[in-house]
Each structure stands twice: as C-alpha cells, then as structure tokens.
Amino acid sequence: MRLSRYFLPVLKENPSEAQIVSHRLMLRAGMIKQQSAGIYSWLPLGFRVLRKLENIVHEEQIRAGHIPMLMPTLQSADLWRESGRYDDYGEEMLRITDRHNRDMLFGPTNEEMITDIFRSHVGSYKDLPMTLYHIQWKFRDEIRPRFGVMRGREFLMKDGYNFDLTKEDALHAYNRHLVSYLRTYERMGLQAIPMRADGGPIGGDYTHEFLVLAETGESEVFYDSAVTDLTFGDRDIDYDDVAQCQSILEEFTTKYARTDETHDAALFAEIPQDRQRTARGIEVGQIFYFGTKYSEPMGATVQGPDGKPTPVHMGSHGIGVSRLIGAIIEASHDDNGIIWPEGVTPFHVGIVNLKQGDTEADAACEALYNSFTALGLDPLYDDRKERAGGKFATMDLIGLPWRITVGPRGLKNGVVELTCRRTGTSQELPPEQAIEKVAQIYAPHRVHGL
C-alpha cells in the first residue's frame, strides 16, 4: 500500500475521551472511529488488524478440528424463551420488534441458535463429537461501555460450541479448546493465563477465563507468579489425543490462578509468599462446560448406542476478537505509539523515502515495494512529500515492527537502513539483504488461509 493513496487519518493530539493507552493509540493511529457509545467503525488500519486476528483464530480452530460456519446477528426471541434465558438475560440484551410485531434480539451469544441447528440436523451419536464455531458481531448493552473496543456494546467474538455424547467427551472438547486458545494467544504475541472463573449468564461451574495481565484490566486476579513462566511454544499437538490435551490443561491450570469471583483466600495463602500476586487482567476469552443446560430444555438429543434418545453434553468457548486488539496494544506500546507483534501487524514493513522526488530514492523504494509484494508481504510505503520527522512519527505511532529508510546518502554507499520498532536499533544493509532479513523474520508468521 502506498500511503499517498491510503486512508490513514492519524491524530496529532491526544483525544480527550480516551482514558487508557490502547484506546488513545487506536484513535490516534486512525484505526477506529466511535459512532455511538461502545459502537465503532473499523477504519482501514484497524480493519487490517481485525482480519489478521480473525485469520489466526480460524487457522487454530481448524487445526483443532473445529468447523467454521456463520450464524446471523439477529435472533428470534422464541429460541431464548425455550432455554429460559429470554427473561433471565436482563437489560444487556438489545430487544427489537420487527414490522410483524415479532420479538427479535441482537445476539449477545449463540448457545440457543446453535442448539436449534444441531437438533434440526443431527440425530445419532455416530455424528459426534462435533464442534461448530463462527466469528460474528455480538451486541451487549453494557451499562458502562468504556475503554474503546475493550468494553464495547457491539464487539466481534469467536464463539464455538461442542456437542458430545458423554461428559467425558465434552471435557476433552473443553481441554482441546484450552490448548488451541493457548496457541492462538501466543501467536498474537500475548501471554493469556487461564484462570478459574465463574459461569455467569452462560452457565456451568467448570469454566476458565483467559487473562492478559495489564494495569488497566477490568478484572482483579490472584495467582502464583510461577504461572507466568509457562509458555506454550511450538509443540506438536494431536488434538484427538485425550491424554496429551489433559496433561497440557493440568500443566497450565494446576498452579493457583483465579479471578476475584472464585478467589479462595485460604488456598492463595498456601502459595509461597514471594510468589503470591494480586494484579489486574484483561479477559480475552472464556471456555465453559455446561453439560445439558441447553440440550435438555431445547430437546437436542441424539440416539445413543443403546438406541435411547440422550441429551448431548455441550460447552461453549469464546474469544474476544475485537477486545484483543486493545489487549495487544496495552501489552505492547511505548511513548511513541503501538508496537505490533509480528503475527498481527497490519503491514509487515514500512518503507520511508527520505527524499520523495529524488529519482534514485524513488526507484529504490519502488524496487523494495515490488520485491516485498512479490514475496507475499505487505509493505506500507510512505511516498508522501513530507518531512522525514513526520514520516518517522507516523510509522512509530502505527507501530509496524520493521521499517526500511531509504535516502540518497545511503544509496550512494549501496545501503538502506533497517530499523526494529521494538528496540529502536538500526542496521545499514544492501536492499537485497534487508528484504531477505524481513522475509526470514516473517516466515513463521504466515497465515495459510482456511
């Protein structure tokens, strides 16, 4: 993308409405625009990051054997009356009446709808196990939407639902989700710690939230500092291997880590004192096992091996895709702006032309641009006739992990400058070597499509 042809409405001033750094930087970097309380337009730069996150989520879900689909945002109230949640859900549900006076709602989650789909089409235990998921906009009429996309009213969620014949199978589905989520968050450059939590309006008493530690987080958390030493890394996972998934769950959930809803002061006190931590965290996902809570009242049964109708065991599993962007920025920024982890950056590399209009500098930038594009990488080329200082400030603000600076002086010596956003260190290299280096850095971060 050439910046002269792009739409990147960066703000020079700090927007006064933003209380936390991620919200401020998303507004300043021209990623989002508020349309009304808790409802945002995703401007091109923000949209690119959102798509990157969606792609990682899809890739990891499909790797775990889960099946993508898409359900609508609007739902019929009747389905929710069947489960009993229409009245229970309260003020957070946006209720709508259509022209025929039918009660509708903007979905805050999809347990009822997926259960309806399942009961309509699946009749035998032989079709199990099955996990279906989608990535779709949700609406929750939060009483206090705040912190930008962090607590929105309209927000993007990945929500998946498993259907299993037995509790044991459903617990394997739970473990599979936990493992795939650990991988997903790490690919996004985040450490998200699974913590024992509360089922809330989704239900079930077996549930973990995934929390990214951050001072601005809305949840109070208590944990053994040893959990922060755990990393998932590049493990070979067989998602059908029950013992392997179980042992990873145990590895990541045995040490004490709980949100305030389930905090147990006596258990916490058993952790060696120098490892006891109280902190704040951003909830970027939650997994639930709730058994037959929906399948029973809604009649989602399969014919079991004994020929008898058996209600299926279910769980649901959510990732806050739009919230994650705020969480990533909270975890990765400095005074000059965002620092995107390589896995989620909106563009792989920025190209800054120090002397736009200079024949050689222009040609060198074009050549770099074409080489990156040919390699399947997305460069953002600042080809505007601006001062170098302004170009650097924009690049720092929008946070591309790597920048190549091209100027007549370097070109005389056959070099360009490659700068790392995170460390600020620069290297002078011939252009081909700079390209090679950037290509190598991104090799492990390619998303391979669905």
Q: What number of residues does the chain have?
A: 450
CA separation for the pair 118, 116 (Å, rounded) = 5
Q: Which is nearer to ligand P5A, 83 or 316 (CB)?
A: 316
Tell me the window of 19-27, 316-324, 388-396, 402-410 that interacts with ligand P5A (CB under 6 A).
Answer: 316-324
Query: Judged by CB under 6 A, how many residues of this single chain contact ligand P5A?
Result: 20
Could you say whether residue 379 binds ligand P5A (CB under 6 A)? no
Tell me the window of 16-24, 147-155, 407-415, 427-435 that interacts with ligand P5A (CB under 6 A).
Answer: 147-155
Range 28-33, long-range pairs (CB < 8 A, 24+ positions):
28/337, 28/397, 29/337, 29/338, 29/397, 29/398, 29/399, 30/398, 31/325, 32/148, 32/149
Amino acid, res. 229: D
Q: Which stretch of DSSP H or E encloses residue 22?
A: helix 21-28
Tell me the window of 97-105, 319-327, 365-373, 433-441 that interacts with ligand P5A (CB under 6 A).
Answer: 319-327
Could you say whether residue 405 binds ligand P5A (CB under 6 A)? no
Q: Which is nearer to ligand P5A, 152 or 350 (CB)?
A: 152
Could you say whether residue 109 binds ligand P5A (CB under 6 A)? yes
With CB under 6 A as the contact rule, the residue among 46, 107, 204, 320 that binds ligand P5A is 320
Tell me the window of 221-229, 317-325, 373-381, 403-411 that interacts with ligand P5A (CB under 6 A).
Answer: 317-325
Report helix, strand or coil for 101: coil
Q: Which stretch of DSSP H or E encloses residue 137?
A: strand 130-139
CA separation for the pair 91, 140 (Å, rounded) = 9
Q: Which is nearer to ligand P5A, 32 or 361 (CB)?
A: 32
CA separation for the pair 163, 172 (Å, rounded) = 11
Could you say whether residue 401 binds ligand P5A (CB under 6 A)? no
Query: Which conformational region is residue 151 in: left (phi greater than 0), alpha (psi within -120 to 50 degrees), or beta?
Result: beta
Of 147, 116, 142, 118, which is closest to residue 130 (Cα–Cα)?
118
Binding letters toward ligand P5A, positions 153-192, x by CB under 6 A: --x-x-x---------------------------------
CB 212 within 8 A of CB 331: yes
Could you say whether residue 317 binds ligand P5A (CB under 6 A)? yes
Which residues, numbered 234-293, are part of the site for ligand P5A (CB under 6 A)? 283-286, 288
Report helix, strand or coil for 289: strand
Could you say whether residue 315 binds ligand P5A (CB under 6 A)? no
Q: Which is nearer to ligand P5A, 110 or 419 (CB)?
A: 110
Report helix, strand or coil for 166: coil
CA separation for the pair 2, 94 (Å, rounded) = 41
Contacts with ligand P5A by CB under 6 A lie at 109, 140, 142, 151-152, 155, 157, 159, 202, 283-286, 288, 316-318, 320, 322-323
